[in-house]
Amino acid sequence: MLGLLRSLARAAVRRDDASRFQLLTDFGAKVFPKYRFHWPQMDWWNDAEFNAYLAKIGELPSFNTERKWTLAQLLRLVAHVPGDTAECGVNLGASSYLICRANAASRQEKWHHGFDSFEGLSQPGAQDGSFWKGGDLAVSLETAAANLAGFSRCRLYKGWIPERFPEVAGRSFSFVHVDVDIYEPTKASVEFFYPRLAVGGLLVCDDYGFTTCPGATRSIDEFLKDKPEKMIALADGGGVFIKGVRV
């Protein structure tokens, strides 16, 4: 406690970032010893365009900014890959916004397809643990559509996954983002989109590796067990594989 008080005094006197960060880590070590802090000198934190996106979509104060930055960077890998894009689990449209923005900057005419019940999660199963319950994360179709209104090549499909997947069965995809948190819809999503993913295309599962989403992680690992691709777990949560790249 004495050390914490000394850090507080230094931070109050010096008012510099190093002292504030030391205070934060000292305090964190007392109240949540297992938590691992990040170094605060991340250059991307100062990216004006990205921060404007976070503010517009309501994600600036959230815990998701690292994953959103990673998503934006991964999209650069498929700018040259032919095929549409898709998201399973649209919610507010924050990730679809990044995908649509990348599509608009591409020289290829890619359509984005977003699938969501817009009624929240379906009922979790036994393999999903106890964190989620049916109806969690509900956002209206109108809210998501308003956030994505600036993109002309974007279509949202309201319905429980995988009810409306057949409407895009004849298309190929360069990028698929799966963010449905629980086992069954994650399983249905990867089963449908894997054979339609172009070589060099990416499938990202936002929930992969989270202890709150054991069913999502399990469904991906089970599906890829006999496939050449394997999921690459990302440090800030989520995972990605590249179609046609053996791991």
Q: Which is it for strands 239-242 and 232-233: parallel, antiparallel or unpaired?
A: antiparallel
What pLDDT shows up at residue 17?
86
Of all residues in the chain, what percent carry a pLDDT higher than 90?
87
Which segments within the chain are labelled E, that is strand?
84-88, 112-116, 154-158, 173-178, 197-205, 232-233, 239-242
Q: What is the pLDDT of residues 150-195, one digit of tens each?
A: 999 999 999 999 999 999 999 999 999 999 999 999 999 999 999 9
Report pLDDT digits (tens) over 2-39: 555 555 555 554 568 888 888 889 889 999 999 999 89
Least confident among 4-13, 56-65, 81-90: 4-13
Tokens 């991964």 sit on residue: 74
Q: What is the pLDDT of residue 16?
A: 83
The tokens for 217 are 């992680």
CA distances from 104 to 18, 27, 150, 156, 197 (A): 40, 44, 10, 17, 20
**Percentage of residues in the chain having pLDDT higher than 70:** 94
Query: What is the spatial distance between Cα 123 and Cα 130, in angstroms, rounded to a whole number?
Result: 11
